[in-house]
Structure 1
Amino acid sequence: MAGFSPALDPRGLLASKRWVVRPQRVADPGVRVFCFPHAGAGAAAFAPWATRVLPEAELCAIRLPGRENRIDEAPFEDLPSLINALEPAVAPLTDRPFAFVGHCSGSLVALELARRMRDKAGVLPVALFVSSIAGPRRRSSESIHLLPREAFFARVAQYGGIDASVLGDPEVMEVFEATLRADFRLVEEGGYVPAEPLDVPIVAVGGRSDPFVTFDDLAAWREETSAEFSLHHIDAGHFVLDQTMEKVVETTT
């Protein structure tokens, strides 16, 4: 069983408000579910699940710089810097059991944050849910963030998860392009750093029709845990956020 830290520093709680959105506060949650969005997405991607998780669970959606009400903040372009900023914002809310949920690139952010919290404070989530991305030891050599604009937007559209009205609005995309490219760069240039497997169950979810992530890619997440591992290969494409959240509910019931 993971340990938990009563990290209640008021300054940390203030920082948490910028980074962590809790759409439906729970007075005394039995578990907090931290959700890490895919490239270009914000906390709103998880908002519908605030009322679908268990009554005693509190959904905590991560909002990164460069989107939503943080659109004027520069996005992070490298993973270590992001983790350095994110860890003190999440730590104050780990005073009770918590789980990490990542979709696509958010899965790697969740993994690295779990590693950091283990190494720094001996605190671990009760489970790590990852979806639609290869295990970090099978990283792709693609550099999507360097594609010309038209090709870049076309590739982003293939992944799903970003409203067509946004992708089809040149003015919006001009503002949003830097954030999207930064998110892809963060993952693509963040080479794998060997580390001891987490003593945390990992649940991987992916679509059989996903043109970008194979069964073997998902299975590579097994190497990141010394605890239980399960893989759910479902009838879907790349965007399996809802199905992943369904597994969260099933697993934590």
Structure 2
Amino acid sequence: MNASRPPGEGALAVPPSRWFARPRKVQDPALRLLCFPHVGAGGAAFNAWAELLPPGVELCAVRFPGRENRLHEPLLDDPGQAVDAVLAALLPLLDRPFVLLGHCSGSVLAYECARRLQLGGHPAPALVVVSSAEGPSVRHIADPLHLLPRAELLDRVVGYGGMPAQVLADPDLRAMVERLLRADYRVVERLHYSPGPPLTAPLTVIGGRRDRFVPEPALAAWAAETTAAFALRMLDAPHYLLADAGPAVAGLVEELLATLPDAEVRA
């Protein structure tokens, strides 16, 4: 690669509209909910939330290359390139109040984007939401999943609840999913958070009481990552809690929307 070429240049050339799934477009949104899915997933992971949100809120779910309508684009497996690319796509959407939300491994990217926005003097999120992920101070990658043998990698992901076991029965689908998982895990497992002070944006953590992988103390560790309000909401849910978290997120967004001065006009 040419040393002078900016990181993620190829991905940056993709129109920003291809980076986001918008299951319900809002012409003049009062608030945008910008969602980062777990590894291997696309923007469709959040589709069911669209009908739960208040009418003035637009859901924009990040869609990385190699899935959905970007199936034939090269995968991103470098954390620097991935964050640079998604930040470039995000910036045009920050003309309205916004929430950054990550689920599971997507929390790693959502939090790093929040850090980079703050360090770069860009608009700050009205709220950061992370779920099913341990706080940065207790996050240790001792056993990188992207280095596991195929069978162990796929079994581990099925165990998390984010992928149906039937995928393992189809050789072509299994190979495609393996490539996606390895690329995505390389990004989140090799990413080092940008240094600097804690966030000044409020931070809410959502966890599952039946999560066998991320215990409540690891979720509570996120409290150190903000100087603003912090909340931990535990649901009666497993590790993969998107379906259970939908109403909770809708409630958070509705509360936030009510605090915006022109929310009633746009809604």
Per the TM superposition, whether the score is higher than 0.5 is yes
Taking the aligned partners of 2:61 and 2:34, their CA distance within structure 1 comes to 6
Taking the aligned partners of 1:244 and 1:142, their CA distance within structure 2 comes to 28
Amino acid at match of 1:199: T
- Aligned residue number for residue 53 of structure 1: 53
CA shift, 1:104, in A, is 0.5
Amino acid at match of 2:122: G
Identify if the C-alpha distance between structure 1 residues 14 and 147 changes in structure 2 by more than 3 Å, giving closer, same or farther.
closer
Q: What is the DSSP-based 3-state SS (H/G/I as helix, E as strand, rest coil) of the residue aligned with 1:232?
A: strand
Taking the aligned partners of 2:154 and 2:162, their CA distance within structure 1 comes to 13
Taking the aligned partners of 2:157 and 2:253, their CA distance within structure 1 comes to 32
Taking the aligned partners of 1:25 and 1:225, their CA distance within structure 2 comes to 31
- Aligned residue number for residue 174 of structure 1: 175
- Aligned residue number for residue 106 of structure 1: 106
CA shift, 1:40, in A, is 0.4
Taking the aligned partners of 1:192 and 1:125, their CA distance within structure 2 comes to 17
Q: What is the DSSP-based 3-state SS (H/G/I as helix, E as strand, rest coil) of the residue aligned with 2:15?
A: helix
1:7-156 mapped onto 2 (5 Å cutoff): 15-140=15-140, 141-156=142-157
- Aligned residue number for residue 231 of structure 1: 232
CA shift, 1:165, in A, is 3.1
CA contact (8 A) 1:142 1:188 kept: no
Taking the aligned partners of 1:13 and 1:23, their CA distance within structure 2 comes to 23
CA shift, 1:164, in A, is 3.4
Q: Deviations over 1:144-192 (max 9, x none)?
A: 1111111111101011122333343221011221110111121222234
Identify if the C-alpha distance between structure 1 residues 13 and 82 changes in structure 2 by more than 3 Å, giving closer, same or farther.
closer
Q: What is the DSSP-based 3-state SS (H/G/I as helix, E as strand, rest coil) of the residue aligned with 1:121?
A: coil
Q: Deviations over 1:208-238 (max 9, x none)?
A: 2212101111011111111111111222211
Amino acid at match of 1:50: A
Q: What is the DSSP-based 3-state SS (H/G/I as helix, E as strand, rest coil) of the residue aligned with 2:120?
A: helix
Taking the aligned partners of 1:170 and 1:14, their CA distance within structure 2 comes to 30
- Identity within the alignment, %: 45
Taking the aligned partners of 1:240 and 1:94, their CA distance within structure 2 comes to 27
CA shift, 1:99, in A, is 0.4
Unmatched tracts of structure 2, length 5 or more: 1-11, 255-267
1:210-225 mapped onto 2 (5 Å cutoff): 210-225=211-226
Please give the root-mean-square deviation of Cα atoms over the aligned residues, in Å.
1.8
Unmatched tracts of structure 1, length 5 or more: 1-11
Q: What is the DSSP-based 3-state SS (H/G/I as helix, E as strand, rest coil) of the residue aligned with 1:55?
A: coil
Q: What is the DSSP-based 3-state SS (H/G/I as helix, E as strand, rest coil) of the residue aligned with 2:118?
A: helix
Q: Which moved more, 1:145-154 or 1:189-198?
A: 189-198
Taking the aligned partners of 2:114 and 2:192, their CA distance within structure 1 comes to 17
